[in-house]
């Protein structure tokens, strides 16, 4: 299948490696192999509570994430996704607040790996699809570190009080933690 500059081979049997070639606004000629079945065989220490599809439907990153590279990912991820092609719109986030830092901040802090120039969520989407990379251990450590925000919400808020710490709750959604359950 070929759309929007991405070459995908989704129809291959799960037992065969599938190659994805990316040509979008942030990557040209980047290729990776899908070596695991989608949504399976995760590192035992990585147990995200939300799938990429669920995150997009809930509203994350002000709806601006993945808008120019949709063909790289399954079409059903975008059914019901809360997206805005023109700009980052915090109103699209589940909690209706801005909980994002600009990509420039992430770059300055050294949090961006060259294979995933859009950051952690791009890494997670590709990991969920079945890519495994040398950056997996670091990204999983970063994901585990985000748990501290859940502990802070539990300590400061009544269960289900979405008005309590909405930015922190939204940030947890960005890391695939379902902060609606806290």
Cβ contacts of 171 within 8 Å, gap of 6 or more: 99, 146, 149
Output the pLDDT for position 17.
67
pLDDT at 67 over 80: yes
Mean pLDDT of the chain: 90
Of 50, 25, 4, residue with least CA distance to 173: 50
Containing domain of residue 156, as a range?
2-181
pLDDT band per the 50, 70, 90 thresholds, residue 16: low
Give how many domains the chain has, as a whole number: 1
What is the rounded distance in angstroms from the CA atom of residue 4 to the CA atom of residue 71?
A: 6
Backbone angles phi, psi at 150, to 5 degrees: -65, -40
Output the pLDDT for position 2.
28
């Amino acid at each position: 299948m070929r759309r929007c500059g991405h070459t995908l081979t989704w129809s291959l049997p799960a037992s065969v490696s599938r190659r994805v070639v990316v040509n979008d606004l942030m990557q040209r000629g980047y290729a990776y192999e899908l070596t695991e079945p989608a949504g399976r065989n995760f590192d035992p220490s990585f147990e995200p509570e939300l799938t990429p599809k669920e995150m997009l439907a809930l509203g994350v990153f002000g709806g601006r994430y993945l808008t120019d590279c949709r063909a790289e990912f399954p079409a059903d991820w975008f059914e019901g996704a809360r997206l805005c092609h023109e700009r980052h719109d915090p109103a699209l986030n589940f909690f209706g607040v801005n909980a994002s830092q600009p990509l420039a901040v992430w770059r300055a802090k050294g949090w961006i790996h060259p294979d995933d120039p859009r950051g952690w969520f791009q890494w997670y989407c590709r990991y969920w699809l079945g890519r495994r990379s040398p950056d997996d251990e670091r990204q999983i450590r970063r994901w585990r570190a985000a748990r501290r925000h859940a502990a802070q919400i539990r300590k400061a808020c009544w269960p289900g009080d979405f008005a309590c710490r909405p930015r922190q709750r939204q940030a947890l959604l960005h890391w695939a933690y379902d902060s609606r359950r806290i």
